[in-house]
Amino acid sequence: RLPNTGYERRSLKPIAAAAGKSSSMKVSVGMNVTLRMLSIETKLRVRLRFPVRL
């Protein structure tokens, strides 16, 4: 069903924008998590190869 009034049309736009934002946020969060895991893994590997005394 198409919204008849301008108010309904206006109220639908931010909902769509929020949905797009949330999906892109999810993607970016997932990328951040994978990057963080990779960096931790490389750090651990480097530490195992070259033991550093803190």
**pLDDT tens digits, one per residue of 21-44:** 888 888 888 889 999 999 998 888
Range of the domain at 11: 1-54
Rounded Cα distance between 16 and 1, Å, is 16
Rounded Cα distance between 35 and 29, Å, is 10
pLDDT at 3 over 70: no
Nearest residue to 12 via CA among 23, 22, 1, 25: 1
Rounded Cα distance between 20 and 29, Å, is 14
Q: Could you give the number of structural domains in the chain?
A: 1
Average pLDDT over all residues of the chain: 78
Rounded Cα distance between 35 and 27, Å, is 12
Rounded Cα distance between 49 and 54, Å, is 15
